[in-house]
Each structure stands twice: as C-alpha cells, then as structure tokens.
C-alpha cells in the first residue's frame, strides 16, 4: 500500500455472501464497476477492507469523513470515498484485482 497515491483498491474474500468481492478493472487498468451482490450500483460498492487511502489526501481534504448518521447501511464507504476521489482515480492493486 506504500505506493498508493490517492486510493488503492483490491479484492476482499468472504464478503456479502460471496467467495470474494472485487472491483471490475478494464484493459486500461481502470475501475469501471464492482463484482458484488449487495447493491452493486452504489457509487463505491466496496467493503472497508478493500481499499487504502493515502494520508496526504485525507489531510488535504479535511471535510471528508466516514459518515455513520444519515447514511443508508452499506453506503458508509461511498460517503467517504466520494468526498476524496472519482472512480477514475482508483488504483487497482493485486494484479489489477485478479488475485
């Protein structure tokens, strides 16, 4: 995770009733969606264990925080990530999320 410039993402095992959940990554190495069962149309349909944020980004955007109140269950990750990055900014790890 040391190489994370903004937000890195990777697959996570045993989440949401699946063997694993994962970002979908195109041939150009960009995230375009999510392999998940629970509401795959969330802005960032990812589990907390599936991403890392560069501390400099958090310090640069102090308004961004993990919202617990007023956010539908399963959308907490999206509430934080949408304040920090766009889908295009995500940095796939684990061999473009294949491992």
- The residues that are catalytic are 77
End-to-end CA distance of the chain: 15
**Closest-CA residue to 34 (of 60, 17, 14, 9):** 9
Q: How far apart are CA 53 and CA 10, in angstroms?
A: 12
């Amino acid at each position: 995770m040391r190489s994370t410039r903004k937000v890195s993402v990777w697959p996570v095992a045993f989440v949401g009733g699946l063997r694993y959940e994962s970002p979908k990554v195109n041939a150009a190495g960009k995230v375009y969606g999510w392999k998940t069962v629970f509401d795959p149309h969330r802005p960032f349909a990812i589990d907390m264990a599936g991403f890392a944020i560069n501390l400099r980004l958090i310090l640069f955007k102090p308004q961004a925080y993990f919202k617990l109140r007023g956010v539908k269950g399963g959308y907490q990750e999206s509430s934080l990530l949408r304040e920090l990055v766009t889908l295009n900014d995500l940095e796939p790890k684990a061999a473009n999320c294949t491992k």
